Chain A
């Protein structure tokens, strides 16, 4: 029995070429990039080059990136923009750039407001955004039944106190692609209006693009984002590596203090092999961007046409490798355990939400009832899949779903 892995939205295996690229930096080129001797300088320049590769892939410069230990940390750091703009204290030891931004932001600062809409985020955002935003007076933006942002709701919720809007480029449970450029346009209008009325509150657009880097052509200018979260683990790179793109407009408070690495925003010796691997994964993803989309679209079509008895939840605007299926009346969690015995691995939603025993807030946000949520499976395709696997998986899922329907009706 060969494993059939249909949970690429949760984790991806590290590509062998990525692993090979990383390998020398664990042992041969282990030096601390901050050390003074030449071999260390070489490591530092390789690290910077790797950052540049990642940055270029989204139309940014290496110095625009803050490397983090994954997307959750990057999202937390992004939401820091709000705390930075309202804390009066000066952060110690930032780079000249961050210092200038701080002065700028301090000049623009508004008196603190009790308004709850300081941070607006999509109701379907990952907990790393939701919980960060809740700390500073966040409010949810409604989505439609496909999981797309309700622009009218966004408009109605933006107040003069709103400082940050966080909308993921691709949702991690539905694969739904959000119209970021449209949101950016709205933000531009609002900024213009604020200037006109003499209101100096900043307004930033943050987006979590963790799921999208290997399937969408991302450009920060075109998207109009000020902050963008990237993740290596979802694109066949190593886990525990991510990045936050930070535009010159934005002032952040450091997440860690120390040696001043990452523009003073995240001190700590650089994760050189991780970033080298991340860069290689980005490079490979970009080479195959169009091929990947085509391949996944075909596999998804094959899968959906061979499965029975489901309702497709993410019918529109979804990324090519995401299929969310609802088997009404079935407990999808039972399906996971039954499928794992056949070495078919699927999920019911975000892995971290599922492990906390919570029902998916994403599926609730798009209007599914409890029974539909309980019956929903997320299948996310990827590099480990081919046509014969997809056909085999469909056969196994059909069998198991059939037996579960039988069991339920017997009860």
Chain B
């Protein structure tokens, strides 16, 4: 870990973590200059710093995405309590029923609306169905057809919630948008940067904006509730949106959110969390794909022998390393030796899934992951880089601009939502791990962190 940036950064990190007090502060209270790193929620805008909290005309305007769940409901309630001018918005992204499964959108909408009415705030439904189908669902289907396992939530945040929703809110005169995500926004200000890093911070700035004029940049930070942290799904959202985003429950623990919902009499305090695909409710991804992709059954072969062991429902359903759901009929001792088979390879062209009992198969384990569509949250990555990595910071920048640089950036990596952070080094667009890891499904994201800070990430090839 000595090469990890988190150690080098520790000196700067206290000033990067938004303080708990500030996150719940009245938005119109004046933060002191020392607390420059506060969450933007406490400093809605320069003009507002001196505004009277009771003045209705100067209340910062927030559009909060309300899904009908407890997290976004409590978020809206907190914003109201903190004195914002709040409008609840239900984003209608998907409303189509699937066979045997009623899409829960209308029920979710009713839950969201009931909470909005209870809070006494205006409520609107914004229809993003067309964009969602085009940007999220079609992307997802295309990726599955290529044999990848895409993450629709990452795409939904990038394209819908923190793009279309953000843009529309801004058009409507919003100061902020807010969501019920478990994440925090920090602010990086180079004045707070240790003196020896100041030039570096400016360098990073000048790369991102062409000049060193601005001194503020938003940081995406992991949630206080490590168990619920959702930055894995948020790593691709734009800096512009993030700098106008509030995550009102980002510094809370889930049980406290539920408790608060109950205290506030929100009817959905104990609403069951949606499982399965975000936009198709309880239905599994498999059932969803069956509706949209023409799937052919095919052979399952043992990779070592090429022998046909069984048949599958469609190669796209399987991911490398998968152990369950393989229909392999064993009638020989060698098959029924109690050891499970793992998927080690997919041949989409011939619709063959290859399996192996060899847990050490090179397809399952890897020390390197090649990434594509790498997006570095550049200001953070660059500015936070310690002085001795100055060149590296520039290199990291150039990755985001399409010029892979053969330099090494030490990072912590999350390969799945809620998965543990693993130390690795980003070399160009390849992650090199200290130890072998089980290969994650291609199409999923590798999200990079430096301590609390989400540095960005990429799609696993």
Interface on A for B, CB 8 Å cutoff? Answer: 333-334, 337-338, 341, 355-358, 411
On whether the beta carbons of A411 and B106 are closer than 8 Å, the reply is no
On whether the beta carbons of B113 and A334 are closer than 8 Å, the reply is yes
Complex partner residue of A355 from B95, B106, B118, CB under 8 angstroms: B106
On whether the beta carbons of A357 and B110 are closer than 8 Å, the reply is yes
Task: Point out the residues of chain B lying under 8 angstroms from A341, CB to CB.
Answer: 118
Complex partner residue of A337 from B95, B109, B113, CB under 8 angstroms: B113
Task: Point out the residues of chain B lying under 8 angstroms from A357, CB to CB.
Answer: 95, 105-106, 109-110
Task: Point out the residues of chain B lying under 8 angstroms from A411, CB to CB.
Answer: 122
On whether the beta carbons of A355 and B107 are closer than 8 Å, the reply is yes
On whether the beta carbons of B107 and A334 are closer than 8 Å, the reply is no
| CB nearest to B95 among chain A residues | A357
| Interchain residue pairs A-B with the least CB separation, the first 6 | A357-B106, A337-B117, A337-B114, A356-B106, A334-B117, A357-B109
Complex partner residue of A338 from B109, B110, B117, B122, CB under 8 angstroms: B117
Interface of B is mostly: helix
14 contacts between A and B (CB under 8 A): A333-B110, A333-B113, A334-B123, A337-B113, A337-B117, A337-B118, A338-B117, A355-B106, A355-B110, A357-B95, A357-B105, A357-B110, A358-B106, A411-B122
Extra contacts, 10 of them, besides A337-B117, A358-B106 (Cβ < 8 A), are A334-B113, A334-B117, A337-B118, A338-B117, A341-B118, A355-B107, A356-B106, A357-B95, A357-B110, A411-B122
| CB nearest to B105 among chain A residues | A357
| CB nearest to A333 among chain B residues | B113
Task: Point out the residues of chain B lying under 8 angstroms from A355, CB to CB.
Answer: 106-107, 110
| CB nearest to B97 among chain A residues | A356
Interface on B for A, CB 8 Å cutoff? Answer: 95, 105-107, 109-110, 113-114, 117-118, 122-123
Task: Point out the residues of chain A lying under 8 angstroms from B123, CB to CB.
Answer: 334
Task: Point out the residues of chain A lying under 8 angstroms from B109, CB to CB.
Answer: 357
Task: Point out the residues of chain B lying under 8 angstroms from A358, CB to CB.
Answer: 106
Task: Point out the residues of chain B lying under 8 angstroms from A338, CB to CB.
Answer: 117
Task: Point out the residues of chain A lying under 8 angstroms from B110, CB to CB.
Answer: 333, 355, 357
Kindly provide the distance from the CB of B439 to the nearest chain A CB, expressed in whole angstroms: 42
Kindly provide the distance from the CB of B326 to the nearest chain A CB, expressed in whole angstroms: 37
Kindly provide the distance from the CB of B343 to the nearest chain A CB, expressed in whole angstroms: 40
| CB nearest to A337 among chain B residues | B117
Kindly provide the distance from the CB of B253 to the nearest chain A CB, expressed in whole angstroms: 29
| CB nearest to A356 among chain B residues | B106
Complex CA distance for A120 and B122, rounded to whole angstroms: 42
Complex CA distance for A411 and B110, rounded to whole angstroms: 22
| CB nearest to A341 among chain B residues | B118
Complex CA distance for A355 and B106, rounded to whole angstroms: 6
Complex CA distance for A311 and B117, rounded to whole angstroms: 24
Complex CA distance for A341 and B114, rounded to whole angstroms: 11
Task: Point out the residues of chain A lying under 8 angstroms from B106, CB to CB.
Answer: 355-358
| CB nearest to B108 among chain A residues | A357
Kindly provide the distance from the CB of B458 to the nearest chain A CB, expressed in whole angstroms: 38
Kindly provide the distance from the CB of A40 to the nearest chain B CB, expressed in whole angstroms: 36
Task: Point out the residues of chain A lying under 8 angstroms from B107, CB to CB.
Answer: 355
Complex CA distance for A248 and B105, rounded to whole angstroms: 44
| CB nearest to A334 among chain B residues | B117
Complex CA distance for A356 and B95, rounded to whole angstroms: 10
Kindly provide the distance from the CB of A334 to the nearest chain B CB, expressed in whole angstroms: 5
Complex CA distance for A333 and B106, rounded to whole angstroms: 13
Kindly provide the distance from the CB of B82 to the nearest chain A CB, expressed in whole angstroms: 21
Complex CA distance for A356 and B106, rounded to whole angstroms: 5
Complex CA distance for A380 and B23, rounded to whole angstroms: 48
Kindly provide the distance from the CB of A387 to the nearest chain B CB, expressed in whole angstroms: 29
| CB nearest to B113 among chain A residues | A333
Complex CA distance for A341 and B105, rounded to whole angstroms: 24
Task: Point out the residues of chain A lying under 8 angstroms from B117, CB to CB.
Answer: 334, 337-338
Most A Cβ at <10 Å: residue of B106, B107, B113, B117: B117
| CB nearest to B120 among chain A residues | A407
Kindly provide the distance from the CB of B447 to the nearest chain A CB, expressed in whole angstroms: 34
Complex CA distance for A391 and B122, rounded to whole angstroms: 30
Complex CA distance for A411 and B105, rounded to whole angstroms: 27
Complex CA distance for A355 and B104, rounded to whole angstroms: 10
| CB nearest to A355 among chain B residues | B106
Complex CA distance for A105 and B255, rounded to whole angstroms: 65
| CB nearest to B122 among chain A residues | A411
Complex CA distance for A209 and B323, rounded to whole angstroms: 56
Complex CA distance for A110 and B218, rounded to whole angstroms: 73
Kindly provide the distance from the CB of A312 to the nearest chain B CB, expressed in whole angstroms: 25
| CB nearest to B106 among chain A residues | A357
Complex CA distance for A404 and B40, rounded to whole angstroms: 33
Kindly provide the distance from the CB of B87 to the nearest chain A CB, expressed in whole angstroms: 10
Complex CA distance for A355 and B103, rounded to whole angstroms: 11
Kindly provide the distance from the CB of A10 to the nearest chain B CB, expressed in whole angstroms: 15
Kindly provide the distance from the CB of B57 to the nearest chain A CB, expressed in whole angstroms: 13
Kindly provide the distance from the CB of A358 to the nearest chain B CB, expressed in whole angstroms: 8
Task: Point out the residues of chain B lying under 8 angstroms from A334, CB to CB.
Answer: 113, 117, 123
Complex CA distance for A357 and B123, rounded to whole angstroms: 15
Kindly provide the distance from the CB of B68 to the nearest chain A CB, expressed in whole angstroms: 11
| CB nearest to A408 among chain B residues | B122
Kindly provide the distance from the CB of B184 to the nearest chain A CB, expressed in whole angstroms: 32
Complex CA distance for A224 and B201, rounded to whole angstroms: 86
| CB nearest to A340 among chain B residues | B114
Kindly provide the distance from the CB of A401 to the nearest chain B CB, expressed in whole angstroms: 14
Complex CA distance for A272 and B136, rounded to whole angstroms: 51
Complex CA distance for A123 and B110, rounded to whole angstroms: 26
| CB nearest to A411 among chain B residues | B122
Kindly provide the distance from the CB of B92 to the nearest chain A CB, expressed in whole angstroms: 9
Kindly provide the distance from the CB of B89 to the nearest chain A CB, expressed in whole angstroms: 15
Complex CA distance for A356 and B92, rounded to whole angstroms: 13
Complex CA distance for A411 and B61, rounded to whole angstroms: 14
Kindly provide the distance from the CB of A28 to the nearest chain B CB, expressed in whole angstroms: 38
Complex CA distance for A334 and B120, rounded to whole angstroms: 10
Complex CA distance for A355 and B109, rounded to whole angstroms: 10
Complex CA distance for A333 and B116, rounded to whole angstroms: 12
Complex CA distance for A357 and B108, rounded to whole angstroms: 10
Kindly provide the distance from the CB of A160 to the nearest chain B CB, expressed in whole angstroms: 36
Complex CA distance for A152 and B10, rounded to whole angstroms: 82
Kindly provide the distance from the CB of B77 to the nearest chain A CB, expressed in whole angstroms: 15
Task: Point out the residues of chain A lying under 8 angstroms from B105, CB to CB.
Answer: 357
Task: Point out the residues of chain B lying under 8 angstroms from A356, CB to CB.
Answer: 106
Complex CA distance for A264 and B394, rounded to whole angstroms: 80
Task: Point out the residues of chain B lying under 8 angstroms from A337, CB to CB.
Answer: 113-114, 117-118
Kindly provide the distance from the CB of A263 to the nearest chain B CB, expressed in whole angstroms: 30
Kindly provide the distance from the CB of B244 to the nearest chain A CB, expressed in whole angstroms: 23
Complex CA distance for A333 and B90, rounded to whole angstroms: 15
Complex CA distance for A358 and B105, rounded to whole angstroms: 11
| CB nearest to A358 among chain B residues | B106
Complex CA distance for A333 and B117, rounded to whole angstroms: 9
Complex CA distance for A333 and B125, rounded to whole angstroms: 13
Complex CA distance for A338 and B118, rounded to whole angstroms: 7
Task: Point out the residues of chain A lying under 8 angstroms from B122, CB to CB.
Answer: 411
Complex CA distance for A341 and B267, rounded to whole angstroms: 11
Task: Point out the residues of chain A lying under 8 angstroms from B118, CB to CB.
Answer: 337, 341
Complex CA distance for A337 and B123, rounded to whole angstroms: 13
Complex CA distance for A334 and B110, rounded to whole angstroms: 10
| CB nearest to B118 among chain A residues | A337
| CB nearest to B117 among chain A residues | A337
Complex CA distance for A357 and B113, rounded to whole angstroms: 11
Kindly provide the distance from the CB of A49 to the nearest chain B CB, expressed in whole angstroms: 39
Kindly provide the distance from the CB of A350 to the nearest chain B CB, expressed in whole angstroms: 13
